[in-house]
Amino acid sequence: MKNRVITISREFGSGGRTIGRAVAEALGIPCYDHELLQEIAAKSGFAEAYIRDAGEYAPGGMIASAFSHQPSGPNNADYLWEIQYKLITELAEKGPCVIVGRCADYILRDKADCLRVFIHADMAFRAKRIVDVYGEREASPEQRLRDKDKRRAAYHRFYTDMKWGHAQNYDVTLNSGTLGLDACVRIIKSLY
């Protein structure tokens, strides 16, 4: 029997992580986000910071991401992808849960009863949020948002061959800037 799993993909600063945790709490099910990094670190032997960064870069950079995996064989990123893939699959098999990021929407597409959610918001909302919530003090939070989203999109495209954030790849997309985080939580909970 397939377990009901909610995957949350999100633009940086849109509140997707916060929404995912609140949905899990409201439903009384586990939420996996930072816990995934810890488990991947434990299984791989790599530092959490390395894994966090590697999870947002397509192997070989932007040019290589346009092509399939390097002919020279698997690299660290591919090794981490295999661990991540297996771990996310195991978590979904264990029971209902919310999984934030890490291409879980793709990994679980045929393995779980999966509600795939994408959280987005306009640039002004996200820029204000990363300054207020994360303490970003850069001269241009907008540039940080663009860079982070560009890396996430490249990583997602490299491993899934799907366009990150493209509405057709999700069951529901929610604008947290327009709806508010609490309304996003209520909507996702109602769809569970």
For the stretch 89-102, pLDDT in tens is: 999 999 999 999 99
**To which residue do tokens 């959490």 refer?**
48
Enumerate the domain spans of the chain: 4-191
pLDDT score at 145? 93
Arch. (CATH architecture) of 4-191: 3-Layer(aba) Sandwich (3.40)
pLDDT score at 184? 98
Residue 168 Cα to chain centre, angstroms: 17
pLDDT score at 119? 98
Helix ranges, the chain (H): 16-27, 34-44, 48-54, 61-65, 76-94, 104-107, 123-132, 141-160, 176-179, 181-191
Rounded-to-integer distance, Cα 111 and Cα 182, Å: 29
pLDDT score at 72? 60
For the stretch 17-53, pLDDT in tens is: 999 999 999 999 999 998 888 888 898 888 888 887 7
pLDDT score at 177? 98
